[in-house]
Amino acid sequence: MEIIKSNHYLVNTDIELLGNLFNQLQANGISDLTQVEAKLAQLQIASFNDLVKHFSGPDCDSQLAVVGEELIDRLRTAVPDREAVLTSSNEVGTYLADKLAGHKQEELWAIYIDNSNHIIAEKCLFKGTIDKSVAHPREIFRWALIYACAGMFVVHNHPSGHLTPSQSDVKLTRMLKGAADMLQIDFLDHFIVGKNQFLSMREHELF
């Protein structure tokens, strides 16, 4: 993202972003896939987590780091050319852990589904420290009514990777369950995700 002036940005297209990545790789002496593989081995990068850590660390070229992190964010928001149908807690948890992988700020998302477990909509509703005073059920269920969903679940990430629910997490979850019961909407689960792992609060019988 190129800064034009204060509060104004020029957002690269996907093709421009890929072109910038290739240019930065060439500037760092990498011009083919064999050299990419050798560089990854040299840096002991064996996973996407390792790659994100490298982009965020002090040893990565600053311009390459900017392009690399922007590319990863762009890939996270890419919409796959298939209809998402969620059939189990493990499938949902894996989907959400992948979705929020690498996010550095705490976020709360609501996922709204129909009677056949097809995703109707996904919305990021809150950013920052998530607690019951910030993540108010009113906003979460406003969209549930707009989408006329049959069920929903929420997810928030712990960037630290520690998945133990806080007291605020438990209170918020029970508040959401009570509101869902009143509106006759299935509140299916509250997931906590971090570092490609997940915890299901329903499976842990926390509500």
Give the tens place of pLDDT for each residue, 64-105: 888 887 887 777 666 555 455 666 778 888 888 887 877 888
Check residue 181 and give its pLDDT: 95
Task: Please state, rounded to an integer, the average pLDDT across all residues of the chain.
Answer: 81
pTM above 0.85, yes or no: no
Round to whole Å and give the CA distance between 50 and 40. Answer: 10
Helix (H) and strand (E) counts in the chain: 7, 7
Whole-angstrom Cα distance, residue 165 to residue 198? 11
**Rounded Cα gap, residues 12 and 175, in angstroms:** 41
Q: What is the pLDDT of residues 110-165, one digit of tens each?
A: 999 999 888 888 888 888 765 544 567 888 999 999 999 999 999 999 888 888 99
Q: Which residue has the higher pLDDT, 101 or 177?
A: 177
